[in-house]
Amino acid sequence: MKSQKTFRIIFVLFFISLFGTVFSQGSVFDQSNSAIEKRLKKDIYLLASDSLQGRESGTASEIMARDYIVSNYKEIGIPPAFKDGSYIQPFTFKATPQYGDSNVLIINKKIFKVEQDFYPLAYSSSAAVSAPLVNVGYGIVVPEENYNDYKNVEDLKGKIFVIETALPKKHKSDSLFLKYDNLQKKIDTAFAKGAAGIIFINTDKTVENPSSAIGNRVIPASIPIIFVNKKTSKSIGNHSKNPAYVKVDIVRLVKTAYNIAVYIDNKAPKTVIIGGHYDHIGWGKENSMYHGDKLMIHNGADDNASGASAVMELARYFKNVGKKKNNYLFINFSGEEEGLLGSSFFTKSNAFDLSKVNYMLNLDMVGRYDSSKVGLDIIGTGTSSLWDTLIGMTSHPGLKIEKTRSGVDGSDQLSFYVKDIPILFFFTGMHPDYHKPTDDPDKINYAGEATIIKYAEKIIEKADSMGKIPFSKTIDASSMKRTSLKVTLGVVPDHSFDGKGMRIEAVLDDRPAIKAGLLSGDIVIKIGEHEVTEIMSYMKGLSFYKKGDKAIITVKRGEQILTKEVQF
């Protein structure tokens, strides 16, 4: 792992090399496989280098990656796509919250250490309280069973509640109790009872501790909320009447990220969008699959330096060949790892008239071609009646191809699919290095990616001869199958929504939501008796149902509160 001083030196050298280059506008590029491989290797090794520190959205390393990509487009000689003559489209987003410097827990005058003895939960606000502790057991009230953990506890208001994270062991399988088996419900109940702060403990060895990750998927309460480990909880068990002190310091920043786009305007009636995100997860603080003790740079060579480089390579090709039947918009998105933020922002902005888009081709993780496994998975073939025909008539020597009909898969093409735009998503499959520090440039199959790029060129050229590509909705939602839920509502969540509830980005055909009359834009605020405050509590609400069950879904539509009966 390199030192910060080394990084600064690399940054300086990077910018000297980047801006010291004299660009030859409109260069003609060798289109041999060996030349493509050489350019891919150059681009991927730079984008996935340690000096770019994982290209996390909203960081200096993202800006360095952005400027490198822009410099390539300038060299290629394609004009910027945005109306102000800019190559970039800024957008703001709520960054992953981080611990501040002032997280404090003091019990009986003993000072405990954050991340060692306790940690703040995502439900917490940045706040401090000094107050007596009161143990309220499991912190639940079940009127149907005449069960109330608060029944014999007096003088609650203004105190710090100590609450077990689990359920009472004898009630673990009781369906009436299960709906209280989530922290949000316990927090809401405690807050209503007058809690000034909450300390969660866990004495049930069969139950996992709550996550220490502080994401943006939860609406924080207005009080400090922490979890303490087993050793610390013993100190709580022997607490005196002295007030405890809890201070939570969570930094919630709004950051700016940047989409990058260039546009070949052939004055054609329709435009093909060719895209792929260039951001990754930085040092892996969130979304990492790595479980080591130290933070490490996640270079993201396959995810998605490979796709970002492929987009640039396709731009080089179509700038040179002079195809005229469509216009071509090449776009490198940021914020994909944060929840498709960049592509969602682009499709909701007025930067481009989406009615003029013929289709969208997304390239994400196209660098690990392996014919003994997935090969090349072309996702979204059901989004147009023409895709199967077109793929069938396009030769692909040296490529093993699999097809997936669904347009609903977790990458940037989804932002276009929900706008009724046909999509294709090129993907070479998952691998053991996904979202780990080991996703490095030396593991990319450069020859395989070059072959995929050549195949993409053929697909685009053949689609050019077919005129308007018609759109079809797909029924199967492959991304939904990745959850362990027994049921699905059949909607696409809006990950950019930061209000209370779960906003529906799109409603899928032939699924429970559309049959019940739910619409895009509805905000789900309750599933049965289960409150929905964000996506995680939405998923938790669904977990109580199985196929065939019915539930009343409460949604906010504009200023109206509506209820709809759904059968799963």
Q: Convert the pLDDT of each residue in 27-41 to its tens digit.
A: 789 999 999 999 999
Contacts of 307 (CB under 8 A, 6+ apart): 276, 277, 278, 362, 363, 364, 365, 366, 367
Which stretch of 16-25, 110-119, 201-210 has the lowest confidence by average pLDDT? 16-25
* Separation of alpha carbons 135 and 177, rounded Å: 20
- pLDDT for residue 161 is more than 70: yes
Residue spans of alpha helices (H) in 380-487: 387-392, 413-417, 446-464
- Across 72-93, average pLDDT: 95
Q: How far is CA 333 from the centre of its chain?
A: 13
Name the nearest CA neighbour of 420 among 383, 366, 394, 468: 383
Distance from C-alpha of 100 to C-alpha of 253, rounded to nearest angstrom = 11
Handedness of CA 399, 405, 411, 415 (dihedral sign): positive
Q: Is the separation of the CB atoms in 423 and 478 below 8 Å?
A: no
| CATH number for the domain whose boundaries are 4-91+259-464 | 3.40.630.10
Under CATH, to which class is 99-251 assigned? alpha beta
- State the average pLDDT over residues 261-288: 94
**pLDDT digits 0-9 by tens, 345-390:** 999 999 999 999 999 999 999 999 999 998 999 999 999 999 999 9
pLDDT at 13 exceeding the cut of 70: no
DSSP-based three-state secondary structure for 294: coil
**Would the pLDDT of 418 be above 80?**
yes
pLDDT at 67: 98
How does pLDDT run across 499-520, given as a tens digit for each residue? 888 889 888 877 899 999 999 8
Can you tell me the mean pLDDT for 181-189?
88
Burial level of 206, CB count in 10 A (0-12/13-18/19+)? exposed
Q: Which regions of the chain carry the CATH code 3.50.30.30?
A: 99-251
Number of other residues whose CB lies within 10 A of the CB of residue 63: 16
More confident call, 15 vs 563: 563
Domain with CATH 2.30.42.10 in the chain: 483-567
| 9 pLDDT above the threshold of 50 | no
How far is 56 from 64, CA to CA, in rounded Å? 11
User: What average pLDDT does range 475-482 have in this prediction?
Assistant: 45
**CB environment 151-178: b (16+ within 10 A), e (fewer):** eeeeeeeebbbbbbbbbbeebeebeebe
d(CA 225, CA 221): 8
**Tokens linked to 270:** 């329709």
Q: Per the structure block, which two tokens stand in for 140?
A: 């639940």
Q: How far apart are CA 23 and CA 515, in angstroms?
A: 56
pLDDT over 80 at 203, yes or no: yes
- pLDDT at position 475 is 66
Neighbours of 356 (CB within 10 A): 12
Q: Packing angle between helix 446-464 and helix 33-47, nearest 10 degrees?
A: 110
Question: What confidence category does residue 213 fall into, taking pLDDT thresholds of 50, 70 and 90?
Answer: confident
- Is residue 461's pLDDT more than 90? yes
Strands 133-135 vs 141-142: parallel, antiparallel or unpaired: unpaired
Q: Give the pLDDT of residue 481.
A: 37
Q: What's the mean pLDDT in 210-226?
A: 85
Percent of the chain with pLDDT over 90: 65
User: Which residues of the chain does CATH 3.40.630.10 include?
Assistant: 4-91+259-464
Q: Give the pLDDT band (50/70/90) at residue 485.
A: low
pLDDT tens digits, residue range 298-338? 999 999 999 999 999 999 999 999 888 999 999 999 999 98
pLDDT exceeds cutoff 90 at 538: no
Q: What angle do CA 172, 174, 176 make, to 5 degrees?
A: 120
pTM strictly above 0.95: no
Cβ-in-10-Å burial (0-12, 13-18, 19+) of 502 comes to buried
Say which amino acid occupies 196: A
User: Which pLDDT band, with edges at 50, 70 and 90, does 136 fall under?
Assistant: very high
Residue 358 near residue 469 (C-beta atoms within 8 A): yes
DSSP label of 209: P
| SS3 of residue 97 by DSSP | coil
User: Which CATH code of 1.10.287.3510, 3.30.70.2190, 2.30.42.10, 3.40.50.10260 fits the domain covering 483-567?
Assistant: 2.30.42.10
Rounded Cα–Cα distance for residues 225 and 212 (Å)? 12
Strands 160-164 and 197-201: parallel
Interval 163-184 mean pLDDT: 84
Return the half-sphere exposure (C-beta side, CA atoms, 13 A cut-off) of residue 456.
Answer: 31
- Is the pLDDT reported for residue 158 higher than 90? yes
Q: Which helix (H) or strand (E) holds 98?
A: strand 98-99
User: Which whole number is the average pLDDT over 431-447?
Assistant: 96
